[in-house]
A and B are shown apart, each in its own frame.
Chain A
Amino acid sequence: MAETTYVRTEMLPPKPPPPTQTGVIGWLRENLFDGWKNTLLTLVALYVIYALLSAALPWFLHAVWNAESLNECREIIKASWGPEADGACFAVIRDRWHQMLYGFYPQDLYWRPNLAFVLMLVALSPVLFPNLPRKMLVFSLIYPFLGYWLLWGGTVWAPVSWALGFILGYFAFILVNDRGGTILAAIAAVVVPVLWWLFGAGPFADLVQSLIPISLADVESRQFGGFMLSVTIGITGIVGSLPLGIILALGRQSNLLMVKSLSVGFIEFIRGVPLITLLFVASTLLNIFMPPGTNFDIILRVVIMVTLFSAAYVAEVVRGGLAALPKGQYEAAAALGLDYWKSMRLVILPQALKIAIPGIVSTFIGLFKDTTLVSIIGLMDPIGLTNAIRANAEWQGIIWELYGFVALVFWIFCFSMSRYSMYLESRLETGHR
Chain B
Amino acid sequence: MREWGRSGRPVAGTNVMQLRSATCFLTIRRACKLDPCRAPLHAAPPEGDPSTNHHPTGAVPIPAQSERKEVNMKKTIILGAIAAAGLSATVASAGTLDDVKARGYLQCGVTTGLVGFAAPDANGEWHGFDADFCRAVAAAIFGDPNKVKFTPTTGKTRFTALASGEVDMLARNTTWTFTRDVDLKFTFAGVNYYDGQGFMVRKDLGVSSAKELNGATVCIQTGTTTELNLADYFRSNGMEYEPVPIETNAEARQQFLAGACDVYTTDRSGLAATRATFENPDDYVILPETISKEPLGPLSRHGDEQWSDLIRWTLNALISAEELGITSANIDELRKGTNNPEINRILGTEGNLGAMLGLDKDWAYNAIKAVGNYGELFDKYLKPIGLDRGLNAQWKNGGLIYSPPFR
What residues on A are CB-neighbors of B85 within 8 Å?
A: 198
Known: A206-B65, A391-B118. A292 touches B92 (CB 8 A): yes
**Contact across chains for B72 and A391 when beta carbons are under 8 A apart:** no
What residues on B are CB-neighbors of A203 within 8 Å?
A: 62
The smallest C-beta distance from A400 to any residue of chain B, in angstroms, reads: 10
* Most chain A CB neighbours (cut-off 10 Å) among B82, B118, B120: B120
* Most chain B CB neighbours (cut-off 10 Å) among A206, A291, A297, A300: A291
Q: Select which of A295, A297, A376, A388 is within 8 A of B120 by beta carbon.
A: A388
Q: How large is the interface on B (under 10, 10 to 19, 20 to 34, 35 or more residues)?
A: 35 or more
A-B contact number at CB 8 A: 200
**B56 interfacial by beta-carbon distance below 8 Å:** yes
What residues on B are CB-neighbors of A286 within 8 Å?
A: 86
**B49 interfacial by beta-carbon distance below 8 Å:** no
What residues on B are CB-neighbors of A294 within 8 Å?
A: 57-58, 80, 86-87, 89
**A146 interfacial by beta-carbon distance below 8 Å:** no
What residues on B are CB-neighbors of A288 within 8 Å?
A: 24, 28, 32, 34, 160, 163-164
Known: A287-B161, A399-B250. A390 touches B70 (CB 8 A): no
Do most interface residues of chain A lie in helix, strand or loop, or is the interface mixed? helix
Separation of A297 and B57 alpha carbons in the complex (Å): 10
* Most chain B CB neighbours (cut-off 10 Å) among A96, A154, A288, A391: A391
**B365 interfacial by beta-carbon distance below 8 Å:** no
**Contact across chains for B154 and A197 when beta carbons are under 8 A apart:** no
The smallest C-beta distance from A12 to any residue of chain B, in angstroms, reads: 68
Segment among A16-24, A240-248, A377-385 that sits at the interface with chain B: A377-385
Q: Select which of A199, A284, A392, A399 is within 8 A of B119 by beta carbon.
A: A392
**Contact across chains for B151 and A222 when beta carbons are under 8 A apart:** yes
Separation of A295 and B59 alpha carbons in the complex (Å): 9
**Contact across chains for B160 and A297 when beta carbons are under 8 A apart:** no
The smallest C-beta distance from B148 to any residue of chain A, in angstroms, reads: 12
**Contact across chains for A292 and B115 when beta carbons are under 8 A apart:** no
Q: Select which of B28, B71, B279 is within 8 A of A205 by beta carbon.
A: B71
**Contact across chains for B91 and A378 when beta carbons are under 8 A apart:** no
Q: Select which of B76, B86, B160, B276 is within 8 A of A393 by beta carbon.
A: B276
**B79 interfacial by beta-carbon distance below 8 Å:** yes
**Contact across chains for B165 and A378 when beta carbons are under 8 A apart:** no
Separation of A162 and B91 alpha carbons in the complex (Å): 26
What residues on A are CB-neighbors of B76 within 8 Å?
A: 202, 295
Known: A387-B112, A392-B119. A201 touches B75 (CB 8 A): yes
Separation of A8 and B24 alpha carbons in the complex (Å): 104
Separation of A292 and B99 alpha carbons in the complex (Å): 12
**B145 interfacial by beta-carbon distance below 8 Å:** no
**A371 interfacial by beta-carbon distance below 8 Å:** no
Beta-carbon nearest neighbor of B57 in chain A: A295
**Contact across chains for B77 and A295 when beta carbons are under 8 A apart:** yes
Separation of A380 and B115 alpha carbons in the complex (Å): 17
What residues on A are CB-neighbors of B83 within 8 Å?
A: 194, 197-198
**A397 interfacial by beta-carbon distance below 8 Å:** yes
> Which chain B residues numbered 156 to 184 have a C-beta less than 8 Å away from chain A?
156-157, 160-161, 163-166
The smallest C-beta distance from A67 to any residue of chain B, in angstroms, reads: 13
What residues on A are CB-neighbors of B38 within 8 Å?
A: 292
> Which chain A residues numbered 388 to 412 have a C-beta less than 8 Å away from chain B?
388-393, 396-397, 399
**B278 interfacial by beta-carbon distance below 8 Å:** yes
**B21 interfacial by beta-carbon distance below 8 Å:** yes
Separation of A223 and B38 alpha carbons in the complex (Å): 30
**Contact across chains for B86 and A198 when beta carbons are under 8 A apart:** no
Separation of A99 and B56 alpha carbons in the complex (Å): 29
What residues on A are CB-neighbors of B124 within 8 Å?
A: 99, 103-104, 223
**B78 interfacial by beta-carbon distance below 8 Å:** yes
Known: A198-B79, A287-B164, A393-B385. A96 touches B58 (CB 8 A): no
A-to-B contact residues, CB < 8 Å: 70-71, 74, 95-96, 98-99, 103-104, 107, 152, 154-155, 158, 161-162, 194, 197-199, 201-203, 205-206, 209, 218, 220, 222-223, 280, 283-284, 286-297, 300-301, 304, 375-378, 380, 384, 387-393, 396-397, 399
CB-defined A-B contacts under 8 Å, sample of 25: A71-B277, A74-B279, A98-B122, A104-B124, A107-B123, A155-B74, A162-B78, A197-B79, A202-B59, A202-B75, A203-B62, A206-B71, A222-B149, A223-B124, A287-B166, A288-B24, A288-B164, A291-B87, A294-B89, A295-B76, A300-B78, A377-B156, A389-B120, A393-B119, A393-B277
B-to-A contact residues, CB < 8 Å: 4, 6-7, 17, 21, 24-25, 28, 32, 34, 38, 55-59, 62, 65, 68, 70-83, 85-87, 89-92, 99, 111-116, 118-124, 149, 151-154, 156-157, 160-161, 163-166, 248, 250, 253-254, 273-274, 276-279, 384-385
Beyond A99-B120, A392-B119, 7 extra complex contacts between A and B, CB < 8 Å = A99-B124, A162-B79, A202-B79, A206-B65, A222-B151, A297-B78, A384-B112
